[in-house]
Amino acid sequence: MTTATTTEAAQTDLYHTYHAAIVRYANRILQDSADAEDVAQATFTEAIAHWIDGIDHPKAWLYQIAQHKAIDLIRHKRLIAWYSLEALAAVRQFPVTDSDLGMVEAQECITAAMAHLSAHNRLLIQTYVIEDKSLEETARITGHPAGGGVKMAITRARQQFRAALKEMEGE
């Protein structure tokens, strides 16, 4: 047997051995079976892409990858929800739902509006809104004084984001 064949067999065995457990783990985190399947697929894709023969604890390694993928998905969904629903509703002055605005269109709006923000305001929104850091952590990362200083900066960043969305709607 060649090394490539041995590696491929080991990867296939890893998938068959742990796939169901990874799906269950992701489902406990996400509470959504479709998202759990997506996270499991992303987990095994990453595991194969970064494959090292002779991994000491493959199950722990896979669980760690799955946890990171699930958290990334939660953050991504939080970003879409915050921008597409809260921010767009504030600009349009009426409620917006996911069915009103397709996810592709929402992502394009978000990307374009974020591009209009200053680098500093993008960092504020990324840190506080998307990564869900505390005010203290956001202040430390962005260099603002803790408390009112960072709150005001976040408020201004959100206002700049909403203004960018409003400007895009006017085009």
Q: Does a structural domain hold residue 34?
A: yes
127-137 tens-digit pLDDT: 787 777 888 88
Q: Does a structural domain hold residue 149?
A: yes
Mean pLDDT for the stretch of residues 22-35: 90
pLDDT of residue 39: 93
pLDDT of residue 120: 85
* Residue at which a domain ends, from 36, 54, 74: 74
> Both 69 and 121 in a single domain?
no
Q: Which domain holds residue 146?
A: 102-170
- Most confident option among 9-23, 68-82, 156-170: 9-23
Mean pLDDT for the stretch of residues 108-117: 79
Which CATH number do you get for residue 146? 1.10.10.10
Residue 165 has pLDDT above 60, yes or no: yes
Which CATH number do you get for residue 38? 1.10.1740
Q: Does a structural domain hold residue 79?
A: no
pLDDT band at 80 (very low <50, low <70, confident <90, very high): low
Q: Domains in the chain: how many in total?
A: 2
CA 161 to each of CA 15, 32, 88, 116: distance values in angstroms, whole numbers, following the listed order: 43, 30, 10, 8
Residue 143 has pLDDT above 60, yes or no: yes
H-state helical runs in the chain:
3-30, 33-49, 58-81, 88-92, 103-116, 119-124, 135-142, 148-170
Residue 31 has pLDDT above 50, yes or no: yes
CB 153 within 8 A of CB 139: no
> Both 20 and 66 in a single domain?
yes
CB 42 within 8 A of CB 69: yes
**Dihedral, CA atoms, 78, 81, 82, 86, nearest 10 degrees?**
-160
How many Cβ atoms sit within 10 Å of the Cβ of residue 27? 18
In whole numbers, what is the pLDDT of the chain averaged over residues? 78
